[in-house]
A and B are shown apart, each in its own frame.
Chain A
Amino acid sequence: MSIGELFSLLITDHTIRTVAFGTAILGVVSGALGAFAVLRRQALLGDALSHAALPGVALAFMLTGQKTPAVLMIGAAIVGIMAILLLSAVTRVTRLKEDSVLGIILSVFFGFGLMLLTFLQRNPDARQAGLNTFLFGQAATLLTRDVLTMAAFGLPALVILAIFWKEFKLLSFDREFGSSLGFPMRGLDTALTSLLVVAVVIGLQAVGVVLMSAMLVAPGAAARQWTDRLSHMVLISALFGAIAGVAGALISSLGNGLSTGPVIVIVVSVIVVISLFFAPNRGLFWRRLRIWRNRRRYQAETVLLDFYRMAAQHADATQPHPIAALLAIRPGAQFGLDVLASRDLARPDSEGNWRLTPAGVAEAELLESGFANENGVTE
């Protein structure tokens, strides 16, 4: 199936359209909120929170006897917020490091949820079958109703993010300054972290608790490479999340037995790798290129200066010199000479002797006088 046909499914096929719409909503919400999590070093909090949501799902079902997504999501959100409060209480009171407390919350909440779920499944009540799709998520089974619920949770979260944009920005970059201005920073902290819970809750049904952390971390980490502006970063992050969501839904709809959650995570991981290497300025590829260019320029300039000082002993600065003389001064000169030749600043003749060109002499004089062209000789 061609890419074009695949995309036409988005319009024609109702099921795929619903699933893609759902995963896109998830991508946008978790991307936008995850950008803040990445900046605030809360990447692993998402992991802990998504695991902590499981007992919320089980308890909501136990208490209400209902399995509608909205009820389960509210249960998950309440327990998620309890996990946040517990995390901050334990890290404030004890000397335990945050990562230990995250590990405890993650495993204990999840284990407790698992205990409740297995306990429920022993009961002869047919309706609870399917609760454990929350483990790995089942995007393929998303219904219009589910997508609407996801939107009903996600949209208010995004609106709150927009309303308190200035405050959240302050919180992420200069908390102390915010306190000194009289903003309730601790309350804002809890609020922003609670929004993270909303993103987690939206993702439960689609990608499950295990892979949800990637949806929060990866788009933000990728977006960070492309920009230094918070607003751009959040938008790019949301876009990456949406792309991963839709691509994952489409790829897994090909009927090859690939479940949506892992495919989405792999797509978003590929986006991260591309961003890490090729994002302008920060990308590793450009960084290497910059280092290589600087080295090249430095070597060419040193050889040019050596050459010039040697040639300046003679009346004619463009007089040829045997290469051995240049290599005697600087054993690695060959590379610099090649660079100079490529810029036509120096030239070898048929007998293997090198001479400076008039342009080379001019450039060297400039370097010698300390007024080198800002971009260097090789640019």
Chain B
Amino acid sequence: MAPAFEIQLIAAVTAAACAILGTFLVLRGMAMMSDAISHTVLLGIVLTFMLVRDLKSPFLIVGAALVGLLTVGLTEALNRTRLVKQDAAIGLVFPALFSIAVILISRFARGVHLDNDAVLLGELAFAPFDRTIFLGMDLPHSLVVMGQVLILNWLMVRLFFKELKLATFDAGLAAALGFSPVLIHYALMGLVSVTAVGAFEAVGSILLVGLMVAPPATAYLLTDKLERMLGLSVIIGAGSAVGGYWLARSLDANIAGSITTVIGIVFVLTFLLAPRRGVLAIWRRRERQRYDFAQTMLTIHLFSHEGSPDYAYESQVMHLQEHLRWDQEFASEVVHRAQAAQWVQRDNGNLNLTEAGREQARAAIEY
């Protein structure tokens, strides 16, 4: 495989692995835990490395996952003391653990390929150089690792889909039915930790947060079904990963940064243009409702003056400005729309209700 293709494959596989878990993080309001865990797994990696002295050892994943769980546990213990709030608990635990990791690296692991920049930023461009023989194939190490993580995440979500869904949307019912929400919570956080370790080398912790949170959040603006949200997140994540690679290539810039940039653009576009929940859709809905309301007002106004001596005066288009406090532009637009709906007919400067318009006014008044 060509290195360029391999890089895109690694990025897409990582994005998919993250999106699967991220969907549940976003729905459960635990998005920032991915930020905390993605930083603290570094401590697990450093501590395990100091014991085994091998950066490829599988124990690194175990150690890092344990520290990931420790992060969650410490945060919750701190929260339970009720001395600090949940958000402050996260904000206290992870910088402390991360700082310890940074200091340990600078004191005891210097010269090893384990530097802070790489952990934060990742260098996907170098991923194809680090190779492993897997099932007789010569593959990039990161691809093998992230492929396994993706399969693990997919299997776990697949197997425990019912439980996860229930614990996410109705933790109380889950507990009443005998599924422990705590167990599910820690299992999910364990998977996040494993994913973070697997990904840290290739994509770095910040992109990890981006891949975990942004694609599911984007998908959440597009659908109300969990299954569809999962699928969309994977597609958005993997698509952005490939798009980001090409952006990075054209700018000769960092790949992880470019991928998050693309994800950000996708999110902003969705935020603006999503069919039902986008800013534009909301604005158009409001605008339509404004005119619908105004048209009904117009029919009621005419209806209430019908047959009275001042009708000739009240039914003038010019008068609407005064009586209904509409500006000229708005008034003529409303009249135009009401004519199109065949609720009123225009007779020179005067308006007359049609039978449909009268019906509309009556319905609105009686309602």
Report A's interface with B, CB cutoff 8 A: 38, 41-44, 46-47, 51, 90, 93-97, 99-104, 106-119, 122, 132, 135-136, 210-211, 213-214, 216-218, 220-221, 224-225, 256-259, 261-263, 265-266, 269, 272, 276, 282, 284
Contacts and interface: CB of A to CB of B under 8 A. Distances in A.
Interface stretch (B115-123, B301-309, B319-327, B328-336): B115-123
B277 interface: yes
A85 B278 CA distance: 17
By secondary structure, the B interface counts as helix
Contact of B117 (A135, A266, A276): A135
B17 interface: no
A335 to B, nearest CB: 27
Nearest to B96: A269
Contact of A115 (B30, B217, B248): B248
B52 interface: no
Given A96-B217, A218-B92, A115 B257 contact: yes
A107 B91 contact: no
A-B pairs, 5 with minimum CB distance: A111-B260, A107-B210, A108-B264, A114-B257, A214-B95
Q: Which of B102, B216, B258 has the most CB of A within 10 A?
A: B102
Interface string B199-211: 0000000110110
Q: Which of A100, A122, A213, A256 has the most CB of B within 10 A?
A: A100
B34 interface: yes
21 contacts: A41-B88, A43-B87, A43-B88, A44-B90, A47-B32, A99-B29, A100-B31, A100-B220, A104-B264, A108-B263, A112-B264, A114-B206, A115-B258, A117-B257, A118-B253, A214-B92, A256-B107, A258-B106, A258-B107, A259-B102, A276-B83
Contact of B264 (A42, A111, A225): A111
B271 A90 contact: yes
Contacts of A266: 96, 99-100, 103
Contacts of B78: 276
A165 to B, nearest CB: 22
B210 A44 contact: no
B200 to A, nearest CB: 14
Given A100-B213, A258-B107, A111 B206 contact: yes
Interface residues of B, number: 62
B92 A217 contact: yes
A94 B221 contact: yes
Contacts of A99: 29-32
Contact of B209 (A107, A116, A117, A214): A107
A118 B83 contact: no
Contacts of A109: 264
Nearest to A115: B257
Contacts of B206: 51, 106-107, 110-111, 114
B56 to A, nearest CB: 26
Interface string B23-35: 0001001111011
Contacts of A44: 32, 35, 87, 90-91
Contacts of A51: 206
Contact of A108 (B32, B88, B248, B261): B261
Contacts of A272: 92
Contacts of B39: 210
B84 interface: yes
A217 B102 contact: no
B184 interface: no
A131 B30 CA distance: 32
B85 interface: yes
Contact of B84 (A102, A104, A221): A221
